[in-house]
Amino acid sequence: MRLLAFVFSFIFSVPLQAQHPVAFATKTELEGVKKSIAAYPVLQKSFAEIKTDVDAWLGRDIDVPVPKDPAGGYTHDRHKANYTLMFNSGLLYNLTSDFRYATLVKNLLLKYAKLNPALKNHPQATSSSPGRIFWQALNDANWLVYTGMAYDLVRNSLTADERTKIENGAFKPEVNFLTQDLKSWFNLIHNHGVWACAGVGIVGIATGNKDYVDMALYGTEKDGKAGFLAQLNGLFSPDGYYTEGPYYIRYAILPFYIFANALNNVKPELKIFQYRNSILKKALEAGLQQTNINGRFFPVNDALKEKDFTSTELVAAVDIAWEVYGKEEGLLTVAKKQDRVLLNRGGASIAAALTNSKNIKPYYPYKSVEFTDGAKGNEGGISFLRVDKDANLTTLVFKYASHGLSHGHFDQLGISLFDKGSEILQDYGSARFVNIEQKWGGRYLPENKGYAAQTIAHNTVVVDEKSQFNAKEEVAENYHGEKLFSSFGNPAVQAISAKQENAYPGVSLHRTLYLLQLPEGKKLVVDLFNTTSTAPHQYDLPFQYNGQVIKASFNYKASTAMQKPLGTKNGYQYLWKEAEANLRDTLAQFTFLNKKTYYTISSLITDSAQIIFTRTGANDPDFNLRREPSYIIRKRGAAETFVNVIEVHGEFDPVSEFSTASYPSVQQITLKQSDEQYTVVEIRIGEDVLVIAQCNEDFSTNKEHSLHLTNATIKWTGPFTVLYDGSPLK
């Protein structure tokens, strides 16, 4: 181990650049930016915004309070505001040569130099990684990233004595705390670790401390098992999918890009942006592909749905990527919506492009994409099937990835559906009001584990009213789904199939999804979900629909005079039972309206099934959950096949009072065959007949199949075929 550490140290032992600033941007770079400000409106606007913010504080005595409050409280927000203020003021010092900006930073840093050495764990600390300035260490890491860059920006203006005071007083206690007291947390392969490494590394660059930089790059033991490079290796699949999901790559992309950018300035020989086949380029592109047409990141695992690609983190990544990876058109679309840029070379460059480009596309170039998960790409994955384009884009999300670390949800083989910018079949996201002090100090609420992470909160099968892996992260993280086949080449027929055999002991789950566009343009999802077991079970398949109930084709009994929770645990205790139906051998059709579009779930009911309408809100005395509905199909048996067709149809225009095609066109669903070898479904759509035949055991693309049904023979090559009125659908 020691030898390895020595080798690493040796290889990268070039002296840290003495010229400052160099962390956020170099001196030369900032001189260039300064000259460009007047030329490009969005650069000028971004400059003016931070100048307005900072100018309001010039000459004032800014509070550096003794830490006391949780997120959303005064001391939390003041410290958070302070690090942004120091960073922005440092930038302005370089862009205006006005010494007052440097003085603002210096005064604050000297206050922190007095405060930090005496800090103990924050009084509101509740997690296993307590902070000192903030309630959790993660926020202290944020502070290091920005304060480190601020120091670097004003370093040249400080006396040697001031530098010593700040380096020993403001930074050293924090760095020591994170790398010694919280050593194992610092070395985690996790978004917290990324921020921690970036913070310590940037402070190392700003202060010329090689020890810090080495710990940041290779972990506290400097053995490469932890640290920034290990994060780059471990958190992404080879195609750039970040294992914690889109919400957290949104958050981690800033320290990844900002620290990489600083490293690129001081250690160009690392070629950090080319590292692992330019993994950071793939990471950004994958992140952007995981947004909806309104720029919002798809909720997967713990996620706040409001987050979109206009967030600060994405501004940083997009502007740096534009500079280091080349000028891609899609980035320009995103930058235009961001409407602000970094005040560095990348920011100035993309601002110039925004000024000079006439026809910036209104939407990011979204496409169907499947990502593998796991560092080696062998831990399942997640797919985004897309059809149509621009404002009419439809996206089907299918998750068969690994658990997603500590923020993962128990939603193997879960789907969600987006259409025209709206969530149609939703993932609850997380139960959290970030930074709202009244809501549990802005932390994840108890209902996050209690409901939002549970299987029933998703769109996938729940067995015996228990969550997958009994909702135990330590079990779940040993497993992942397995993709069986996929086909994305034909825009009219996109297919993906995966299985999960470990979520429930003795039960195999196998789901295949077909996203289809029929010749007349109609879009539908055919969802074949097979459960197999030797023992009888109760299987619930919930659809978390988002909209107003228009019509159910069947009779049901509504809870009109009293409502009770559907169950007692595993998330079921949060669901009011609004209605239920007992059905037998029928086609159940349920239509709802979301904004201007109708959606119908047509469900084949063979033998018997129950349908349950629920709404969240039971056992929620603090009103922590949004009140949202679901439609649950419940079957009992050892092996069950759920055949559902989700149809996008019609238009409702409440302003002009037109309603067209408000009825589904699916007329009948027949399961022609369903066994270990094949599943064959026939769907009558108006006057037309759609047939899907899939093989359940051989998924090779060149395997020829010939299947004899009662009155026809179907022949095809590969794992499946989709026929429309007898011919392959194209």
**Do residues 485 and 699 make contact, with C-beta atoms less than 8 angstroms apart?**
yes
Q: How many residues does the chain have?
A: 730
With CB under 8 A as the contact rule, the residue among 79, 106, 222, 307 that binds a second copy is 307
User: Do strands 678-685 and 688-695 pair parallel, antiparallel, or not at all (unpaired)?
Assistant: antiparallel
For the bound state, the minimum distance from the C-beta of residue 592 to a second copy, rounded and expressed in Å, comes to 9
Does 516 interact with a second copy (rule: CB under 8 A)?
Answer: no
For the bound state, the minimum distance from the C-beta of residue 308 to a second copy, rounded and expressed in Å, comes to 6
Give the residue with the Cβ less far from a second copy, 57 or 663.
663
Does 222 interact with a second copy (rule: CB under 8 A)?
Answer: no
For the bound state, the minimum distance from the C-beta of residue 481 to a second copy, rounded and expressed in Å, comes to 30
Select the span of 113-121, 284-292, 509-517, 547-555 touching a second copy (CB under 8 A).
547-555
Does 578 interact with a second copy (rule: CB under 8 A)?
Answer: yes
Question: Cα(369)–Cα(384) distance, rounded to whole angstroms?
Answer: 5
How many Cα neighbours within 13 Å face the side chain of 501?
4
Q: Is 407 a catalytic residue?
A: yes
Query: What φ, ψ does residue 430 adopt, rounded to 5°?
Result: -115, 155
Give how far the C-alpha of residue 419 lies from the chain's centroid of Cα atoms, to the nearest Å: 18
Select the span of 59-67, 388-396, 651-659, 672-680 touching a second copy (CB under 8 A).
651-659
Sign of CA pseudo-dihedral 649, 655, 656, 657: positive
Give the residue with the Cβ less far from a second copy, 619 or 670.
619
Q: Is 248 a catalytic residue?
A: yes
Does 103 interact with a second copy (rule: CB under 8 A)?
Answer: no
**Do residues 322 and 335 make contact, with C-beta atoms less than 8 angstroms apart?**
yes
Question: Cα(571)–Cα(573) distance, rounded to whole angstroms?
Answer: 5
Q: In sequence order, what are the residues at sequence separation of 6 or more whose Cβ sits closer than 8 angstroms to the Cβ of residue 550?
A: 591, 592, 593, 598, 662
For the bound state, the minimum distance from the C-beta of residue 629 to a second copy, rounded and expressed in Å, comes to 8
Catalytic residue among 403, 407, 409, 480: 407
- Tokens (6 digits) for 60: 């004032």
- Tokens (6 digits) for 491: 């825009």
**Rg for the chain (alpha carbons), in Å?**
28
Give the residue with the Cβ less far from a second copy, 309 or 418.
309
Does 303 interact with a second copy (rule: CB under 8 A)?
Answer: no
β-strand partners of 549: 592
Give the residue with the Cβ less far from a second copy, 90 or 650.
650
For the bound state, the minimum distance from the C-beta of residue 71 to a second copy, rounded and expressed in Å, comes to 8
With CB under 8 A as the contact rule, the residue among 18, 56, 160, 655 that binds a second copy is 655
Give the residue with the Cβ less far from a second copy, 310 or 667.
310
With CB under 8 A as the contact rule, the residue among 513, 525, 593, 601 that binds a second copy is 593
Does 580 interact with a second copy (rule: CB under 8 A)?
Answer: no
Does 627 interact with a second copy (rule: CB under 8 A)?
Answer: yes
Catalytic residue among 83, 218, 248, 631: 248
Does 717 interact with a second copy (rule: CB under 8 A)?
Answer: no
Cis amide leading into 536 (omega within 30)? no
For the bound state, the minimum distance from the C-beta of residue 520 to a second copy, rounded and expressed in Å, comes to 15
Give the residue with the Cβ less far from a second copy, 238 or 617.
617
Q: Which of 334, 643, 647 is nearest to 510 (CA)?
A: 643
Helix (H) or strand (E) holding 67: none
Question: Cα(697)–Cα(232) distance, rounded to whole angstroms?
Answer: 36
Q: Kindly state the number of chain residues that form the binding site for a second copy, as judged by CB under 8 A.
A: 55
Give the residue with the Cβ less far from a second copy, 92 or 593.
593
Q: Which of 549, 528, 530 is nearest to 539 (CA)?
A: 530
C-alpha distance from residue 625 to each of 279, 465, 569 (Å): 37, 20, 16
Select the span of 58-66, 163-171, 286-294, 574-582 touching a second copy (CB under 8 A).
574-582
For the bound state, the minimum distance from the C-beta of residue 40 to a second copy, rounded and expressed in Å, comes to 23
C-alpha distance from residue 284 to each of 42, 234, 250, 317, 629 (Å): 22, 16, 9, 7, 34
Touching a second copy, residues 387-416 (CB under 8 A) = none
Does 657 interact with a second copy (rule: CB under 8 A)?
Answer: yes
Sign of CA pseudo-dihedral 710, 716, 720, 726: negative
In the 8-state DSSP scheme, what is residue 691? E
Does 87 interact with a second copy (rule: CB under 8 A)?
Answer: no
Does 662 interact with a second copy (rule: CB under 8 A)?
Answer: yes
Q: Which of 648, 665, 730, 592 is nearest to 395 (CA)?
A: 648
Does 560 interact with a second copy (rule: CB under 8 A)?
Answer: yes
Question: Cα(508)–Cα(522) distance, rounded to whole angstroms?
Answer: 33
Question: Which residue type sits at 32?
Answer: G
User: Do strands 537-543 and 523-533 pair parallel, antiparallel, or not at all (unpaired)?
Assistant: unpaired
Q: At what angle do helices 99-115 and 137-154 cross, to 10 degrees?
A: 140
Give the residue with the Cβ less far from a second copy, 550 or 689.
550
Give the residue with the Cβ less far from a second copy, 517 or 589.
589
Q: Which of 212, 181, 183 is nearest to 119 (CA)?
A: 181
- Which residue in the block uniquely carries the two structure tokens 């079990």? 475
For the bound state, the minimum distance from the C-beta of residue 89 to a second copy, rounded and expressed in Å, comes to 18
With CB under 8 A as the contact rule, the residue among 551, 636, 672, 684 that binds a second copy is 551
Does 72 interact with a second copy (rule: CB under 8 A)?
Answer: yes
Select the span of 24-32, 62-70, 215-223, 660-668 touching a second copy (CB under 8 A).
660-668
For the bound state, the minimum distance from the C-beta of residue 627 to a second copy, rounded and expressed in Å, comes to 6
- Which residue in the block uniquely carries the two structure tokens 């010749």? 519
Using alpha carbons only, give the angle 662, 664, 666 rounded to the nearest 5 degrees.
165
Does 25 interact with a second copy (rule: CB under 8 A)?
Answer: no
Does 619 interact with a second copy (rule: CB under 8 A)?
Answer: yes
For the bound state, the minimum distance from the C-beta of residue 438 to a second copy, rounded and expressed in Å, comes to 4
Per-residue string for binding with a second copy, 309-348, x by CB under 8 A? Answer: -xxx------------------------------------
Question: Which residue type sits at 35?
Answer: K
Does 656 interact with a second copy (rule: CB under 8 A)?
Answer: yes
Give the residue with the Cβ less far from a second copy, 296 or 511.
296
- Which strands make up the sheet holding 414-419, listed edge to edge? 369-372, 381-387, 394-400, 414-419, 422-425
Select the span of 252-260, 300-308, 603-611, 678-686 touching a second copy (CB under 8 A).
300-308
Question: Which residue type sits at 470?
Answer: N
Question: Cα(500)–Cα(522) distance, rounded to whole angstroms?
Answer: 31
Touching a second copy, residues 432-451 (CB under 8 A) = 433-439, 442
Give the residue with the Cβ less far from a second copy, 314 or 729.
314
Select the span of 1-9, 91-99, 549-557, 722-730 touching a second copy (CB under 8 A).
549-557
Which chain residues interact with a second copy by CB under 8 A? Answer: 72, 77, 80, 304, 306-308, 310-312, 433-439, 442, 548-551, 558, 560-565, 576, 578-579, 591, 593, 613, 615, 617-623, 626-627, 652, 654-660, 662-663
Q: Tell me which residues are annotated as active site.
A: 248, 407
